[in-house]
Structure 1
Amino acid sequence: MRWMGIVVMVVMVWWECCQASHVCHGGEEPIPRHRLASKTGYFSAEKDTRHWKQFKEEVVGCTASQVWLLNRHGTRYPTQNDMGRMTAVLPGLSQKIVANHQQGRGCLKEKELEQLQDWFPPYGPHDKEQLQETGYDELAALGEYWRSLFPHLFDGHFDSAKFKVDFTVKNRTGQSAYHFLRGMFGEDEVGNIELPQPYSPNFILRFYKACPRWLREVYKNNETTYKERQLFVLTEDFQNVAHLVSARLGFMHPLTPDDLEAVYDECRYESAWWADRSSAWCAPFTHHDFEVMEYHADLKYYYEDSYGHPLNTKTACRTLSDIYLHFRSTVSTSEARPQGIFYFAHDKTIMKVLASLGMFRPREHLRHDNFQSMRARVWRTSYVSPFSANLGLVLYRCSEGEHLEHKVGIFFQGHPTPLPELCVGVACRWEELQPWFAEKHATCDLSKLCMLHDEL
């Protein structure tokens, strides 16, 4: 029995140390809604508006003739896996947290404890992966926004000869397409739009799902893809968060990484859904804690969907070919058909296409041991893939006297964004981009790329 006494003593010492270290952060820190990784709501996400002045100067005398737009679906309910994990953990955990505070442990305030007293998941099996109401509003606002940017292209009437719409087999992307068109063309018009039937495999919008090589070498490769994330859990940065968050919830032992992630995920979902209220599940995290948890999430997506593995960028070649073929046709015929190409897909699609274009490339790979030096990184999921993230390429026809040329504006989250690895300035000359896109198109062979090469 002596060892039990030692364990109790160690736990009591740990608890006293935590209390002495002032784990209860002073004041009420607002939830950093712009830093919730891939669960960041679009209205809260950071937007870079710095390049508008230069862009407008570079497209003087130009008229937009074609818009190619790739959207991530809007804010949604949890996936089946997330929902199962959170519903298995959080109801019981909420009761323990309340009991901890009744026994004099923990840092939550009365209003937060009231939220947790009879907490029950605000979703059920029928909600899984569906668009949440905030997602409706995000996509409708995006449709209105793009119409305001190019009113001569989107004049309030939907013509199937002028606009191409496509989305994946997941309900949330079809729902996103509907609400985007509702915002762009209005309530009366959207009811008359016949949306296409989604199909699978879709090599433009969900190419990775149809790539056995990517599934095996990246997505299901625990040894390499998720190594840095697993190592980060063992670092002092992450362990400090686990201990301090647990202490603020009144526990005399640290939560497991899975339980901590369940608390963090519920915080993120509720923050994305309800901008006007604070989730009690966010209360134990400081701003620094949120930053650590964001990096924990980033280490997953960086290797699974972005610069962390070279196969990620290669699998997006059919999407790049689609841009090239639409723009090439418009340039050669001087007639844009269609005028708008609207695609609705997923964060994996967005991140792979961004990396294919060399956008937001960090100065070094994200690793488990460089969190501190990467705190000002340009690649973070909160920025590159919040809910409703969108990438638009706009083809402009520019004339000065008898001289005619074409330029391409790259819009990320609706704002002009440079492509420093591919062109000079903010508005790229098509003559600069065309050879690069043509090469990607000519060498795109997903059958060959995605073939599994087993050792014989």
Structure 2
Amino acid sequence: MKVLWITVILALSQYEAYASSECCEEYCFGTDKSRPQTLRFTSKTAYTLAKGNDIERNILPNCSPTKMWTLTRHGTRLPSAKTIGKAGHLEEMRDKIVNNYKVLKTKPDTGALCAEDFFSIKTWKFNSSITPEMENMLTPQGWEDLKLLAKTYQRQYPNILTKDYRPQNYLFRRTETQRTEESFKAYVEGLFGTNVWQTVHVSQPDGNDTLLRPYDYCPKWEENNSQKEGTEYMIFQNSALMNKTVADVSTRLGFQYALDFKDIELMWDMCRYEQAWNVDRTSAWCGAFTQAQLKVLEYYDDLRYYKKSGYGAEINSKLPCEIIKDMLFHLNSKTQPNAVTNFAHSTLIQTMITALGWYQDNETLTASNYGSMGDRNWRISKIDPFASNLVAIKYDCPADGVDTEKVLFLLNQNAVSLSWCSVGLCDWSAVMKRYNDFYHANCTETFCQSGASSISYIASMVSLLVAAIVYLIY
């Protein structure tokens, strides 16, 4: 009986916590003209919001650009089939929110949805023309992202990115996906004009694509990312701060119980996708959150990427061996092509930045130090938005005496600040010294920690499979 009363008391106290008339700070996404949180949407941040706007400042007097090497992520895309399939559940959530506000009258006294945000959610409908078969496809905004990116760099470096296509001057590569294929076409249209892509050669992998998708061929990387239990991002997901955030969002939407984290994540995903698809409009689901709540969700995603493709796992700094070596060889070469452009994916961008040692914090990102990491360097929203691009430009600067060869590193049209360089401009000799191990590496052996480890892993799996078959037969 005593246990029963304790259970009832706990249930009532939990109900009272969620039935509170207070939620969070007052905020209205629909009337906010600045919307700074749209710059904190991690890998789903719109490129037009995240890119640098002062690339013209990188003009170097008395220097001539001679080579250009680029790694570009595809532009804005559609969600996965799994997320598209959950659109119906989101419509159910919409109806429950409307019922909370209009029928149950459970909207909080403070922190409730403003009239504009409530109306947006009430009238929201998922675009029914988007089907699971269209998963991950490039969107019209994604096409514009890449087309404008090409025009921007061509305007800055017209001697390298000439307006007339000459096969000997260019090398284009892409992965075997629709979104990188369309991104390539859009980029080429920006350089040379409409439909010229039909006559432009693009290199595709002949066999395993260890250059642009090395993670697909590294069992150790797969093993690292299959582990979720006990990881920092999972600890953060179950932390008191995240639980409070989930509870506050639930209360803001009129629920008298805490929603499942997956429901919160789904609303956040739809907010980010729709905002990236239509940067000049507002997504209804962005109104579900206050700015403070979105900072918590951003940190969760940064922690997840920190382990998946950042400094949270040693394998990530070895994975992009081939692509770094390719960049160094191209910049060091005196022969054509003058411009190499690769179209790939988020994981390669992030692991390459990790391997190069960029944007590393003095303090490791953990589940417990959210409060001290507000100004962290590892912020995916800035590092890897849609259409993120890492560019290296080789310069000849004869007036500089001994070190006449320079390299300027750009990330999303911003000069990369490196302690051993001058505002992103590095002596080529310093670059070669710093990344000498990559230049001389046998990437086949080192990209997945060691070739032997990968082979032994596969061999052990084959042995287990054979043993299982033998066991079943006999």
For residue 432 of structure 1, the aligned residue among 421, 430, 433 is: 430
| 1:345 equivalent in structure 2 | 344
- Please state whether the residue corresponding to 1:408 is helix, strand or coil: strand
Q: Confirm or deny that 1:78 pairs with 2:82.
A: no
Counterpart in 2 of 1:219? 225
Counterpart for residue 180 of structure 1 = 187
| Alignment of 1:33 onto 2:35 | no
Equivalent positions of 1:236-385 (< 5 A) are 236-330=240-334, 336-385=335-384
Shift of 1:309: 0.9
- Decide which moves more: 174-183 or 149-158: 149-158
Distance 2:178 2:251 in 1: 40
When the two structures are superposed, what TM-score results if normalisation uses the length of structure 2? 0.86
For 1:210 and 1:62, locate their aligned partners in 2 and report how far apart those are by CA, in whole Å. 41
Question: For the Cα contact (< 8 Å) 1:52–1:416, is it kept in 2?
Answer: no
Amino acid at match of 2:165: F
CA contact (8 A) 1:89 1:262 kept: no
Q: Normalized against structure 1, the TM-score is what?
A: 0.89
Cα pair distance change 1:47/1:238, threshold 3 Å: farther
| Contact 1:154/1:185, CA 8 A, preserved across alignment | no
Q: For this pair of structures, how many residues does the alignment match?
A: 441
Deviations 1:388-410 (A, max 9, x none): 11000011122239978211111
Query: What letter matches 2:240 in structure 1?
Result: E
TM-fit CA distance, 1:325: 1.4
1:231 corresponding residue in structure 2: 235
Counterpart CA distance in 1 for 2:422 and 2:280 is 42
1:333 alignment counterpart = none
Partner-residue secondary structure (3-state), 1:33: helix
Q: Which amino acid aligns with 1:239?
A: N
Residues 401 and 434 of structure 1, relative CA distance in 2, 3 Å threshold:
closer
CA contact (8 A) 1:423 1:433 kept: no
* Residue matched to 1:94: 94
Of stretches 118-127 and 199-208 in structure 1, the one that deviates more from structure 2 is 118-127
Unaligned runs of 5+ in 1: 331-335
**Structure 2: segments with no counterpart, 5+ residues:** 461-474
- The one-letter code matched in structure 1 to 2:209 is N
* Counterpart check, 1:413 vs 2:416: no
Query: Is the Cα contact below 8 Å between 2:68 and 2:331 reproduced in 1?
Result: no
| Residue pair 1:398, 1:406 contacting (<8 A) in 2 also | yes
Contact 1:79 1:128 in 2 (8 A): yes
Matched, 1:14 2:35: no
Task: Identify the residue that residue 45 of structure 1 maps to in structure 2.
Answer: 50
What does 1:75-224 correspond to in 2, within 5 Å?
A: 75-84=76-85, 86-87=86-87, 89-103=89-103, 104-106=105-107, 107-117=112-122, 119-122=124-127, 123-187=130-194, 189-216=196-223, 218-223=224-229
Question: What do you get for the CA RMSD once the two structures are aligned?
Answer: 2.7
Shift of 1:6: 5.1
Q: Which residue identity does 1:60 align to in structure 2?
A: P
